[in-house]
Structure 1
Amino acid sequence: ATYTYNKKFGFAAIFAHLACGWMVNAGLYPGNTSFHGPETIAFVNQSLGLADRMTGETKLLVMDCGLEDQEMLANLHDRPNTDFILKHNRRRESSTKWLELAKEKGVLIREDAKKGFRVYRGSTYRRLKDREEEIRLAFDVKETYKEKGQLLFLPKVEIFSVWTSLRDFSDKEVLHLYRMRGTSEQFHAEFKTEMDMERLPSGKFKVNKAFLRMGMLAHNMLKVISQDMVMERALGLKKATRRRIKTVMNNVIFMSWRLISHARTLVMQLGCSKEWHIWFGRLFQRLKPA
């Protein structure tokens, strides 16, 4: 373990989720690892390869700006059967030039004279280094020219932009698809906090890496149970499109039961209501062959 970006002694982890939170891949690296390099590209390609084995459909890869660089963009651009949305890191790009670009190539989608701001939305194309291809860069640019009723000498400029290979989607749809990525942060929270995977058990890197992989398998097993819980309406739970890992563990994994030996047969007695007993019996019979 080494010191991480927030000056803590530990490791750096990276995860890949598919659809409703299925964990496709997990990687563990020393704490001072930079995710701009061949290791990250190898991890992304490995994760996409695993996803290809799960479904033959075209996949949309959505990633944070911490993974953005020229090599990553070129790698994703050349990969078949995969579209991508990658958050753009402005680094030292001028806010003034971005505002000029937004006014030139974007459209005004919102203006509030009372609050003193305008929002422009549009797309531009940029060429990768040493390559002929141009990649679409969709953006929202907010210009604030008034605060608390006072005009500003220089406007404040807020920029939200993403790289994408999607060409048949509008700027609004592309930006909305990236903003939906916030749900993946909940998947990270479930894995780290609710499964208590935030603190790894050993000081040895290989042991922790193996422990992380076992945690990934356990996470996906709990997701199987959570999908069954979503489909079942008689359990008395609030209507939802997914169940958190904590809910699954509290209602199923921590369910009280007793194992009884009777007539040369092992019988499991559950301490739950009739509805939960029926649901658990169906789940047990379905998963038993596996």
Structure 2
Amino acid sequence: MKRFIIEQSSADIISHSGLSLIGQAIKQYTHLSGQLDASVPMRHGIKHSDVIKSYLALLSIGKNDFEAINGIESEFYFTSAMDIDEIPGEATLRQRMDKHAISFLPIVEKASRDFLSNIQPALRPLSTGHIPVDADVTPMDNSGSHKEGVSRTYKGHDGYAPMAVYLGQEGYCLGFELREGKQHCQKDTPALLARALRDAQKIAAQPLLLRLDGGNDAIENIEVVLAHNEAHEDLPVVDFLINKWNPRRQDKADWLAIAEQKGKWIYSREGKRVALFSVQTARHWKGHNYSVRRVIRIIERTIDKHGQRLLVPEIDLEGWWTSLDVSEEDVIQLYADHGASEQFHSEFKTDMDIERLPSGKFATNALVLGLSVLAYNILRWIGQNGLLGSKSPKRSKAQRRRIRTVMQELMYVAARIIKTARTIKISFGRGCRSLQAFDAVYRKLAYG
């Protein structure tokens, strides 16, 4: 085997050429820079927009710690790609975000909404023609820390319990609200859902389907949907699908008798039969009566899975609230697809490495989460437009690429930076398999 000679080149080579995609997305499809700089006037020092965009760049390559700003490879490329004048130091980055987190967060959240509404991402509808809106709480483990707001979550560890709202099967994020670990999942949720539905209809032209877990089985969430439809009669309808109706206080024998009359029984194996049926149920809230469809699935087992006959039949009872007018089988399948949102949580926590938030201050961590949403949406769009077409690097067929894949294929592409009198060139290696995809995405972002 030949031995290599190790030396340092005079060429300006970078390993994160994808930052040019992030910079163009922010410049062309948001007003982040101008709104940040106008929010809190400054007489001297690094501009607010330079600070925030520098941290956004770090998030886009999977780094959330403030110290990572000290490891920038090429200051020239970093400032050029992100359209900033100066890179802040670690202390400036931390102090500025601590000081102005409350003022910056609404601007960052608006930039994320603006990006999606301006770029109009392609969204695949469900079998019913709806675009899903999935909301769920995902605890973040920050055990062993003394950060503000960290407390015991329902998962049994200390951390935060933020609630995320995703749009489409692609998983674009409409909001990620940081919450204390001990906060109940339903607290503040109606207001979050109301905002999310308004934002979703600025992006999607199809009907929406709001899907919620059993922790959010509350009539006030249903009222949010009904009030939204009433206030926006000119827009496509919003339907809901909520699991899980809690049957612990129900008499299963009574429901079994109803199933005998109304249910469609399926004998899946010897000793096991399943019935599906729907009932209209009255629910009351603030002096109003609502008639809501409840889909019921009841399972009766007289023989267990090991072939043992049971002395007393085993009965399982499940239910889903919905406004959909489709079959019971379709309702259950549509709710099962809601589980894909768990993968979106994972991409935030692992691919973008934000589970352990970097600050001791709650407001600063809320800002970090808001910036993560903006970076995530841009990376998601880059992946959908750069890694699924004929020009993308060869990979197995998929409807969606993980954020980690986007980082590996397009963000971490090594390149040489060539500066001339009038232009800056990003020169990729001869064997770079991401060149065509990178060029196609950059042209879409930079030139529309």
User: Considering the TM-score relative to the shorter chain, is it more than 0.5?
Assistant: yes
Q: Provide the residue aligned with 2:335 in structure 1.
A: 178
User: Given that residues 283 and 292 in structure 2 are in contact (C-alpha distance below 8 angstroms), is that contact kept between their aligned partners in structure 1?
Assistant: yes
Q: Give, in whole Å, the separation in 2 of the partners of 1:139 and 1:51.
A: 30
Q: Provide the residue aligned with 1:195 in structure 2.
A: 352
Q: Provide the residue aligned with 1:124 in structure 2.
A: 279
Q: Structure 1 residue 173: deviation in Å?
A: 1.1
User: Given that residues 303 and 310 in structure 2 are in contact (C-alpha distance below 8 angstroms), is that contact kept between their aligned partners in structure 1?
Assistant: yes
| Residues 206/234 of structure 1: CA separation in 2 closer, same or farther (3 Å cut) | closer
Q: Provide the residue aligned with 1:164 in structure 2.
A: 322
3-state SS of 1:133 partner: strand
Q: Provide the residue aligned with 2:177 in structure 1.
A: 27
Q: Provide the residue aligned with 1:58 in structure 2.
A: 207
Give the counterpart letter for 1:8 in structure 2. H
Q: Provide the residue aligned with 1:44 in structure 2.
A: 193
Q: Provide the residue aligned with 1:85 in structure 2.
A: 241
Q: 1:142 aligns with which of 291, 295, 299?
A: 299
Alignment size in residue pairs: 286
Pick the structure with more strand per residue: 1
Bigger drift between 124-133 and 90-99 goes to 90-99
Q: Give, in whole Å, the separation in 2 of the partners of 1:282 and 1:234.
A: 9
Length-normalised TM-score, structure 1? 0.92
Give the counterpart letter for 2:239 in structure 1. D
| Residues 264/68 of structure 1: CA separation in 2 closer, same or farther (3 Å cut) | same
Q: Give, in whole Å, the separation in 1 of the partners of 2:392 and 2:220.
A: 51
Write out per-residue CA displacement over residues 217-267 of structure 1, whole angstroms, 9 at most, x where no aligned residue: 111111111112112355211121111111111111111112122344321
3-state SS of 1:284 partner: helix
User: Given that residues 139 and 175 in structure 1 are in contact (C-alpha distance below 8 angstroms), is that contact kept between their aligned partners in structure 2?
Assistant: no
Question: Larger Rg: 1 or 2?
Answer: 2
Percentage of pairs with the same residue = 31
Give the counterpart letter for 1:181 in structure 2. H
3-state SS of 2:279 partner: strand
Q: Give, in whole Å, the separation in 2 of the partners of 1:135 and 1:109.
A: 25
Length-normalised TM-score, structure 2? 0.61
| Residues 211/150 of structure 1: CA separation in 2 closer, same or farther (3 Å cut) | same
Note the aligned Cα RMSD (angstroms).
1.9
| Residues 83/234 of structure 1: CA separation in 2 closer, same or farther (3 Å cut) | closer
Q: How does 1:129-278 map to 2 (within 5 A)?
A: 129=284, 130-147=287-304, 148-167=306-325, 169-228=326-385, 229-232=387-390, 235-271=393-429, 273=431, 275-278=433-436
| Residues 103/78 of structure 1: CA separation in 2 closer, same or farther (3 Å cut) | farther
Q: 2:262 aligns with which of 84, 87, 105?
A: 105
| Residues 209/34 of structure 1: CA separation in 2 closer, same or farther (3 Å cut) | same
Write out per-residue CA displacement over residues 94-143 of structure 1, whole angstroms, 9 at most, x where no aligned residue: 33333333223211023422xx2101111111100253321001122111
Q: Give, in whole Å, the separation in 2 of the partners of 1:21 and 1:138.
A: 26
Q: Give, in whole Å, the separation in 1 of the partners of 2:430 and 2:333.
A: 42
What 5-or-longer segments of structure 2 have no aligned partner? 1-148, 230-236
Higher relative contact order (CA closer than 8 Å, sequence separation 6+): 2
Bigger drift between 67-76 and 192-201 goes to 67-76
Write out per-residue CA displacement over residues 39-64 of structure 1, whole angstroms, 9 at most, x where no aligned residue: 11001111111112212332111111
3-state SS of 1:35 partner: coil
Bigger drift between 147-156 and 79-88 goes to 147-156
Q: How does 1:3-18 map to 2 (within 5 A)?
A: 3-18=152-167
Bigger drift between 92-101 and 186-195 goes to 92-101
Q: Structure 1 residue 289: deviation in Å?
A: 4.3
Q: Give, in whole Å, the separation in 2 of the partners of 1:203 and 1:89.
A: 38
User: Given that residues 245 and 321 in structure 2 are in contact (C-alpha distance below 8 angstroms), is that contact kept between their aligned partners in structure 1?
Assistant: no
Q: Give, in whole Å, the separation in 2 of the partners of 1:151 and 1:94.
A: 23
3-state SS of 1:77 partner: helix
Q: Give, in whole Å, the separation in 1 of the partners of 2:195 and 2:210.
A: 13
Dislocated runs of 4+, deviation >6 Å? none
Q: Give, in whole Å, the separation in 2 of the partners of 1:15 and 1:73.
A: 18
Q: Structure 1 residue 73: deviation in Å?
A: 2.6
Q: Give, in whole Å, the separation in 2 of the partners of 1:265 and 1:56.
A: 40
What 5-or-longer segments of structure 1 have no aligned partner? none
User: Given that residues 193 and 224 in structure 2 are in contact (C-alpha distance below 8 angstroms), is that contact kept between their aligned partners in structure 1?
Assistant: no
Bigger drift between 198-207 and 131-140 goes to 131-140
Give the counterpart letter for 1:210 in structure 2. L
User: Given that residues 105 and 124 in structure 1 are in contact (C-alpha distance below 8 angstroms), is that contact kept between their aligned partners in structure 2?
Assistant: no
3-state SS of 1:178 partner: helix
